[in-house]
Amino acid sequence: MIYPQNYEAKLGFDQIRSILKSLCTSPLGMEKVEKIVFLDQIDDIERELSYGEEFLRILQQELHFPDWQAFDLRESLQRIRIVGTWMDEAELFDLKRTLDSLQRVVGFFIKDDEDFKSPYPCLAAAAADTATFPQIVRDIDRILDKFGHIQDYASPALASIRKKLSINTAGVSRKLHILLKQAQDEGYVEKGLTPTMREGRLVIPVSPAFKRKIKGIVHEESASGKTVYIEPEELVEANNLIRELEAEEKREIIRILTEFTDSIRPLAEDIMQAHTFLGLIDFSQAKARLAQKTSAIKPLIENTCVIDWKQAMHPLLYLSLQKQGKAIVPLDIHLNKKERILLISGPNAGGKSVCLKTVGLLQYMLQCGLMIPLRENSLCGIFEHIFIDIGDEQSIENDLSTYSSHLLNIKYFLRHSHAKTLLLIDEFGTGTEPKIGGAIAQASLEELNRRKAFGVITTHYDNLKHFAEDQEGIINGAMLYDRHLMQALFRLEIGRPGSSFAVEIARKIGLPESIISKASDLVGSDYIDMDKHLQDIVRDKRYWENKRQQVKQLEKNLSQLTEQYEEDLAQVKQERKEIIKQAKAEAKELLS
């Protein structure tokens, strides 16, 4: 279960849907994107992930996947269930191209060789359940040409009609050109004018002043009134015959189409079912291309509640920064049965909310069957519920304040949360007087922890940070901040709370020192000392982390130098052996 209803918009999954739809090539694929739903069964999730991952391997290996087209045939196939209806040329052409594509794509996954084992088992299983219709394709090829038009030899009768039509049309055209030339020679028609077609009949364009000079039927006047179109009386019968032949041609085409439609009517349901496989292919390739764009993978999944992510990235932020030529700071996060709730603190604009939204969006994407951007040794779990409280839900219509909306969300969480719930709460407890807001938040957090729920929660409240230190199941986390450069590092560190760096940020933006000093006096030295202590811990930890990285790099360099030395030594020894061997050979040759 997902809460609230606008979960997707709050986390940006609506944008993921839009990107996926733009990567589809057919209405069938786009419809599958629209029908994406949250899944909580591991078999369903694994299957949907595998479809995308298998197609991703096809793209990465640059295999020659068949060219294919998928047209939405459902309306046509539904209509022809009624006896006496038929598919027109355009529908028949769409059917031919779709079934031809279906046959080629299924053939990519399924081979006649009994020993063949597809490297794409999930897509191959779907292909194996898909019927193909080669005979229908061959039948359509006998009716339509390569441009989708009815061929002359679709039936003997049609060939005969079109032959007569061609002969008669050519005869009328020749006769009309003779009459036109005569009229031009007599000055009734301007030089350079040619015969034209009006109401399906060949006519001569004539100036109104000379319309009585040419015997025939006036069919039309131009909008300006400067031209009338006359069918010479010598051609009336011939044109009548052409019209009759055209009507006969149309009747024969309808007969051919009706006869063909009758032959496939019993298979309409099977065709409709089979061509949805191309929708699956389109959807799978869109998933794969999204994974390529966002550096996503199919991670290892366990049928339990766990998050053990390394180098996780928010896909929309990744794409946005990529366009700007900037790099994203990946996220490492770990939630398990012992440390289920992560309480993140730290400065404003330090990345707390991005961290929370990354967890929410990636877990939701995963359980919708989409690959997510993580390092390959990451481990993912499955949750039954994902609940979020992010952003301002103030409502004038419902007389709902921001804080009231937060409380309604917490009420829902307290009622429905259990050990398979993932909670995402941003700025827990804010929106009211800090003391009571912090107290309500702490009491709520205690109950959510008692219910064994999982969660990522952001806060500035010290009472929550202290509470997390003493509670089994809850762990503090901090967004790192460089106090000297006065800038956020956007890195999450799990295991300790973070400072809000309020005093330092106030100094950075130029707030008067007298105001900062007065504020420090108001909160008291204990608070300032504790906040400074947190900052010192951050500084010291960053110092030793940098030292550790330097030592690690030195060890790596030393290892590389040692390897190079050993390679050089081995090469020198080999060269020495070769020189001694050659010298012995030369000495032996001299002695002999």
pLDDT tens readout for residues 177-198: 777 666 665 666 666 566 667 7
- Report pLDDT for 399: 44
Residue 474, phi then psi, degrees to nearest 5: -120, 140
Q: Crossing angle of helices 236-264/134-143, nearest 10°?
A: 180
- Which one has a higher pLDDT value, 391 or 354? 354
Domain spanning 2-153+257-291 has what CATH number?
1.10.1420.10
Residue scoring higher pLDDT (221 or 87): 87
**Could you tell me the pLDDT band of residue 39, with boundaries at 50, 70 and 90?**
very high
Please tell me which residue, 41 or 555, carries the higher pLDDT value. 41
Contact between residue 155 and residue 139 where contact means Cβ atoms under 8 Å apart: no
- Tell me the C-alpha distance between 519 and 272, whole Å: 72
User: What's residue 398's pLDDT?
Assistant: 44
43: left (phi over 0), alpha (psi -120 to 50) or beta: alpha
Token code pair at residue 49: 């992930």
Q: Which residue has the higher pLDDT, 173 or 153?
A: 153
Mean pLDDT of 498-519: 63
The listed CATH number (3.30.497.10, 3.30.1490.150, 3.40.50.300, 3.40.50.2300) that belongs to domain 299-523: 3.40.50.300
CB contact burial 435-451 (16+ within 10 A = b; e otherwise)? eebbebbbebbeebbee
Please tell me the pTM assigned to this model. Answer: 0.78
**Residue 215 above 70 pLDDT?**
no
pLDDT at 581 over 70: yes
The mean pLDDT of the chain is 84
Task: Report, in angstroms and rounded to the nearest whole number, the Rg of the chain calculated over CA atoms.
Answer: 39
* Confidence grade of residue 396 (pLDDT, cut at 50, 70, 90): very low
Nearest Cα residue to 334 out of 475, 445, 541, 537: 475
Residue 29 has pLDDT above 90, yes or no: yes
